[in-house]
Chain A
């Protein structure tokens, strides 16, 4: 079978691309909220920046976990051909790393009291 380059690459690097998107969104939101002076707003009892950070990061965690789970299922399938196995391993490992990185990057939202 011939592998599609773009979809294979997106699969392999999916976890970290999600981490990148999460990082970009939470950073941009925090920067704009401070610059445009609406950081004092609250959402669900939290400041708007921590609330958005936690929510976006939670979504990112779920997305990375889904990629990881599908890769794990394929890895557990019987007699996978070698290149496919490598691709799935990378997809899984990258997702696990991304989950750690997403959680790690969200920590400041819970620890920093003065956002701006």
Chain B
């Protein structure tokens, strides 16, 4: 271990009297039932993890009912209709309400501490995302008690889920439930990506980031690009179901295979969105358990990044059976095999690290060993399924069910339980029970393999997935009986874990624990304000390389030991080399995120059951809460620099590309841009599969002249905002005038675009051509409305004296969204003209 640089610490002792008390007072969490108004990520992270684990239990109960039904042939415990709901809800709950939320939840809990930050940059956003997810998820789950749970499988392929074959509300509830997880996943990604890039401690350059932080950064980026396809897919299916726009109806120009493309464009990266954080967890726990530095840190980072990128080129391997060209299937087959290489790099790094140290025989190690065995087996069957002819044989059989459970339970659940045991002392100060934990690990390992290994054989014997019962003559009995027995042993293992947590984990505010002698910052002494001072980082394993660091930080000798601005705050640093740039003032507890979350949930839920007035009330509550919440943000700059130590003086306000708000808005626009790209893909897809010319007669390409006029109008709307920007410093009147004129012109541009696209004969409910044009219009309309709302809000703040040339973040965000909207409008128009090139 290398010695620490002999450099004076950022702040000297003794610290001024009252400094610590003021810090404690400012970060005091709400008491009693008011804890529900907490927005601090430590608390929201715990809410989130608890909710995700609750959904794990609920999804697990559904699985046990299914396994009981399948234990013996021709069982009548549940009928086929309920069974369809059970497997759909089991898959949906586990994937959308447990797996994705738990990885984001663990990130939201761990990252502030691991980054030495007081909090992540958008605490209220995290709280809102949690409440929307929790309320929406619970209502979604409860549909099973009212016989209205979705029954089309967790990937909901049309035409089975179209209104023709799934009338009623079942599929709508699925589309709604997924809507909540879309909202919370994107919100979580904003918090995670911006948090990691902008709130790292001074000195934590990219090469000094813990592997878990790398994993979460990559996962955040993956969410930004992976969720938009499913956002679009769910929107298109709902539009088809509600308004008969035939995106997936083949006889009217649509194609159900488009759903499969969009779903798996999300679905396959999603597997790695789930796995990479778990791999990050493993890369944190392995070195601690081995008491040795991670072997091949740089290679592991490379593997994480490579997995993240390659995972976007695997989606078609879920669709090998649809009858695609051999060449394209081969490309995806090759990529599916290639992704095993980065996974292998990580596994060998972990093995080498364990080999290079002395491994502690403790509960997290037991779960890691289980993870290695199960995940590697799941990976190997994954490579088997990447081979197209084998996939054709095993497609939709229990072999696939076995494979995906080996990957997901091995790749996620075992590391998550290891994480619970590993980080419990960070929450409660003490380890959970060794004895109980080892029983749990053993039960879960044996139970899991007993439950799922026989399913490989059942699948190879031809047992298809999603059958509610089977004949005794098929010789599948023994494998199913073994599997059911294993499922119950696995459930007992889970129960033992939960028992241990209930008996031994008590959340405490002040924690001073590092029982595993770990090397990273989350093991600093922590309170509600995180660490007393924000550490200066000089190595990748700071607690190992500087054994005095815990004491130095806790005595306030590092950065920002007190309240510089008098408010909750944290240091914002540059994204690559972590140089301090400014102090970000953070919001305190508030009921607004909870209200906004409840309002959002009510809006969608009542809309689904077509109760329009309650839905409107819910939407209004959400909107008003948002505006009140936003009104309190963007505080005025004090105009004076604040000393954080080491002679560094930082401003307490930042606008433009350096500000965290700019980054967050950019992330949102990347999401929007990806949705739009998927919409363009859908348009081109319909074109590609269309027989003959495109668009088919009698449909027409929108008129060129009207299209060009619309493009010019959009460009002029951008020009007016550019003028507003120029006049912000010089003249308030000119600023207001330009912004108001811009709002009129933006609305006019949309009207012209509507005129250009909607005047063709293609009404949206006749043919997929019209449907996709109107979908583009609708998407553009959403952006125009958003831009107008933001511009109106900007004007209101300016009139209220809350916006000027220095305090301008609100306007900067409006500018970004505005210019994006204009660019998207022009691109949409140009896309509709593409067929002229082929004519």
Query: Taking beta carbons and an 8 Å cutoff, which residues of A are in contact with B?
Result: 2-5, 8, 12-13, 16-17, 19-20, 23-24, 26-27, 30-32, 34-36, 39, 49, 53, 82-83, 85-87, 89-90, 93-94, 97, 100-101, 104-105, 107-109, 111-112, 114-116
Q: Is the CB of B575 within 8 A of A115?
A: no
Q: Show 30 residue pairs from A and B whose CB-CB distance is below 8 angstroms, ordered by the A residue.
A: A2-B579, A3-B575, A5-B197, A13-B309, A20-B312, A23-B331, A30-B327, A30-B331, A31-B324, A34-B325, A35-B688, A39-B325, A83-B205, A83-B576, A86-B206, A87-B576, A90-B298, A90-B305, A93-B298, A93-B299, A94-B302, A94-B306, A101-B338, A104-B334, A105-B331, A105-B334, A105-B338, A112-B326, A112-B327, A116-B325
Q: Is the CB of B328 within 8 A of A86?
A: no
Complex Cα distance A17/B206, Å?
20
| Residues in A whose Cβ lies below 8 Å from that of B206 | 83, 86-87
Between A26, A27, A39, A49, the greatest number of chain B beta carbons within 10 A of the residue's beta carbon is seen for: A27
Complex Cα distance A34/B689, Å?
10
Complex Cα distance A37/B762, Å?
27
Shortest distance from the beta carbon of B57 to any chain A beta carbon, whole Å? 39
Complex Cα distance A39/B325, Å?
11
Q: Is the CB of B302 within 8 A of A90?
A: yes
Q: Is the CB of A116 within 8 A of B306?
A: no
Tell me whether A115 and B326 are in contact in the complex, defined as CB-CB below 8 angstroms, given that A2-B577, A101-B338 are known contacts. Answer: yes
Between B299, B302, B338, B574, the greatest number of chain A beta carbons within 10 A of the residue's beta carbon is seen for: B302
Q: Is the CB of B309 within 8 A of A19?
A: yes
| Residues in B whose Cβ lies below 8 Å from that of A35 | 688-689
Q: Is the interface of A mostly helix, strand, loop or mixed?
A: helix
Complex Cα distance A36/B577, Å?
50
Tell me whether A5 and B334 are in contact in the complex, defined as CB-CB below 8 angstroms, given that A89-B298, A112-B327, A116-B325 are known contacts. Answer: no
- The list of the 8 closest CB pairs from A to B, nearest first, reads A108-B330, A86-B207, A3-B576, A83-B205, A34-B325, A115-B327, A16-B309, A116-B325
Known: A16-B310, A34-B325, A116-B325. 18 other contacts (CB 8 A): A3-B577, A5-B197, A13-B309, A16-B309, A19-B309, A23-B335, A27-B331, A30-B328, A31-B324, A34-B327, A35-B689, A36-B688, A49-B327, A85-B207, A86-B207, A94-B305, A104-B334, A107-B334
Q: Is the CB of A116 within 8 A of B327?
A: yes
Q: Is the CB of A31 within 8 A of B335?
A: no
Q: Which of B205, B309, B326, B331 contacts A82 (CB 8 A)?
A: B205
From A53, which residue of chain B is reached at the shortest CB distance?
B327
From B838, which residue of chain A is reached at the shortest CB distance?
A36
Tell me whether A30 and B325 are in contact in the complex, defined as CB-CB below 8 angstroms, given that A2-B577, A5-B576, A83-B205 are known contacts. Answer: yes
Complex Cα distance A108/B316, Å?
16
| Residues in A whose Cβ lies below 8 Å from that of B576 | 2-5, 8, 83, 87
| Residues in B whose Cβ lies below 8 Å from that of A114 | 326
Between B207, B305, B325, B579, the greatest number of chain A beta carbons within 10 A of the residue's beta carbon is seen for: B325
Q: Is the CB of A16 within 8 A of B306?
A: yes
Contact with A along B570-600 (1 / 0, CB 8 A): 0000111101000000000000000000000
Interface positions of B from 294 to 332, Cβ below 8 Å from A: 298-299, 301-302, 305-306, 309-310, 312-313, 324-328, 330-332
Q: Is the CB of B298 within 8 A of A27?
A: no
Interface positions of B from 337 to 360, Cβ below 8 Å from A: 337-338, 341-342
| Residues in B whose Cβ lies below 8 Å from that of A112 | 326-327, 330
Q: Is the CB of A16 within 8 A of B305?
A: yes
Interface positions of B from 164 to 218, Cβ below 8 Å from A: 197, 205-207
Shortest distance from the beta carbon of B555 to any chain A beta carbon, whole Å? 28
| Residues in A whose Cβ lies below 8 Å from that of B301 | 90
Complex Cα distance A101/B338, Å?
7
Complex Cα distance A2/B577, Å?
7
Complex Cα distance A84/B94, Å?
41
Interface positions of B from 543 to 577, Cβ below 8 Å from A: 574-577
Q: Is the CB of A82 within 8 A of B305?
A: no
Interface positions of B from 688 to 741, Cβ below 8 Å from A: 688-689
| Residues in A whose Cβ lies below 8 Å from that of B337 | 104
Tell me whether A83 and B207 are in contact in the complex, defined as CB-CB below 8 angstroms, given that A26-B331, A35-B689, A105-B338 are known contacts. Answer: yes
| Residues in A whose Cβ lies below 8 Å from that of B341 | 97, 100
Query: Taking beta carbons and an 8 Å cutoff, which residues of B are in contact with A?
Result: 197, 205-207, 298-299, 301-302, 305-306, 309-310, 312-313, 324-328, 330-335, 337-338, 341-342, 574-577, 579, 688-689
From B197, which residue of chain A is reached at the shortest CB distance?
A5
Complex Cα distance A115/B330, Å?
10
Complex Cα distance A35/B312, Å?
22
| Residues in B whose Cβ lies below 8 Å from that of A30 | 325, 327-328, 331
Between B298, B305, B331, B332, the greatest number of chain A beta carbons within 10 A of the residue's beta carbon is seen for: B331
Q: Is the CB of B309 within 8 A of A20?
A: yes
Tell me whether A105 and B335 are in contact in the complex, defined as CB-CB below 8 angstroms, given that A3-B577, A31-B688 are known contacts. Answer: yes
Shortest distance from the beta carbon of B213 to any chain A beta carbon, whole Å? 14
Q: Is the CB of B305 within 8 A of A13?
A: yes
| Residues in A whose Cβ lies below 8 Å from that of B579 | 2
Shortest distance from the beta carbon of A84 to any chain B beta carbon, whole Å? 9
Complex Cα distance A115/B205, Å?
48
From B331, which residue of chain A is reached at the shortest CB distance?
A27
Q: Is the CB of A109 within 8 A of B327?
A: yes
| Residues in B whose Cβ lies below 8 Å from that of A3 | 574-577
Complex Cα distance A94/B68, Å?
48
Q: Is the CB of A83 within 8 A of B577?
A: yes
| Residues in B whose Cβ lies below 8 Å from that of A94 | 302, 305-306
Complex Cα distance A31/B342, Å?
28
| Residues in B whose Cβ lies below 8 Å from that of A23 | 313, 331, 335
| Residues in B whose Cβ lies below 8 Å from that of A108 | 327, 330-331, 333-334
| Residues in B whose Cβ lies below 8 Å from that of A49 | 327
Complex Cα distance A94/B574, Å?
24
| Residues in A whose Cβ lies below 8 Å from that of B299 | 93
Complex Cα distance A12/B341, Å?
19
From B578, which residue of chain A is reached at the shortest CB distance?
A83
Shortest distance from the beta carbon of B89 to any chain A beta carbon, whole Å? 34
Shortest distance from the beta carbon of A102 to any chain B beta carbon, whole Å? 10
| Residues in A whose Cβ lies below 8 Å from that of B332 | 27
Shortest distance from the beta carbon of B501 to any chain A beta carbon, whole Å? 38
Shortest distance from the beta carbon of A96 to any chain B beta carbon, whole Å? 9
| Residues in B whose Cβ lies below 8 Å from that of A24 | 313
| Residues in B whose Cβ lies below 8 Å from that of A85 | 207
Q: Is the CB of B325 within 8 A of A82?
A: no
Complex Cα distance A31/B685, Å?
10
Complex Cα distance A16/B302, Å?
11
Complex Cα distance A100/B335, Å?
11
| Residues in B whose Cβ lies below 8 Å from that of A89 | 298
| Residues in A whose Cβ lies below 8 Å from that of B302 | 90, 93-94, 97
Q: Which of A5, A86, A100 contacts B575 (CB 8 A)?
A: A5
From B581, which residue of chain A is reached at the shortest CB distance?
A2
Q: Is the CB of A86 within 8 A of B298?
A: yes
From A8, which residue of chain B is reached at the shortest CB distance?
B576
Complex Cα distance A17/B313, Å?
12
Complex Cα distance A90/B217, Å?
16
| Residues in A whose Cβ lies below 8 Å from that of B688 | 31-32, 35-36
| Residues in B whose Cβ lies below 8 Å from that of A86 | 205-207, 298
Q: Is the CB of A2 within 8 A of B298?
A: no
Q: Is the CB of A17 within 8 A of B309?
A: yes
Shortest distance from the beta carbon of A32 to any chain B beta carbon, whole Å? 6
Complex Cα distance A32/B681, Å?
12
Q: Which of A12, A53, A101 contacts B310 (CB 8 A)?
A: A101
| Residues in A whose Cβ lies below 8 Å from that of B328 | 27, 30-31, 34
| Residues in A whose Cβ lies below 8 Å from that of B305 | 12-13, 16, 90, 94
| Residues in B whose Cβ lies below 8 Å from that of A2 | 574, 576-577, 579
| Residues in B whose Cβ lies below 8 Å from that of A109 | 327
Shortest distance from the beta carbon of B573 to any chain A beta carbon, whole Å? 11
From A111, which residue of chain B is reached at the shortest CB distance?
B330
From B306, which residue of chain A is reached at the shortest CB distance?
A97
| Residues in B whose Cβ lies below 8 Å from that of A83 | 205-207, 576-577
| Residues in A whose Cβ lies below 8 Å from that of B306 | 16, 94, 97
